[in-house]
Amino acid sequence: MEYSTFGRHVAIDTWGVQFDLLNDAEFLKRQMVEAAEACGATVLGVQAKQFSPQGATVLVLLSESHLSIHTYPERGFAALDCYTCGETVDPQIAIDYLVSVLKPEKVYAKKLIRGLGEMQVADPEVKVMETAEK
């Protein structure tokens, strides 16, 4: 079987997110797994770290690649990214899910098209989805 090198990598900076949402590694871990499942990805493992006095990092290892978040609650900031290989899993769905959960005031996003030669950069449309609340 031959695999495609095609992949999409969505990176997003969110600002104006509620402190408590960004300072809860266990909550973020649950939401990240739900986001991965929402886009059809296969979760292989999850690592979460709660920092002191605040902040969290969560990394979800996917069969298709990864989903991550790094938070700075004191600044209302979170950096998220999702990279998936192949055609079947759309990382934008995972990012949209997390934006819907975090409800930021501002969002800055870029999408890289990878694995086809020179990387292409696009401005993705970020959509708010229906999600379960905390």
Active-site entry in 9, 39, 82, 85: 85
DSSP symbols for the chain: -PPP--EEEEEEEEES--HHHHT-HHHHHHHHHHHHHHTT--EEEEEEEE-SSS-EEEEEEESSEEEEEEEEGGGTEEEEEEEEESSS--HHHHHHHHHHHH--SEEEEEEEEESSSS-EEE-PPP--------
Catalytic position from the list 39, 65, 82, 100: 65
Residue 51 CA, chain-centre distance (Å), reads 19
In angstroms, rounded to a whole number, what is the distance separating the alpha carbons of residues 125 and 50? 30
Catalytic residue list contains 68: no
Residue 70 designated active-site: yes
Catalytic residue among 63, 70, 82, 100: 70
82 part of the active site: no
**Residues classed as catalytic:** 65, 70, 85
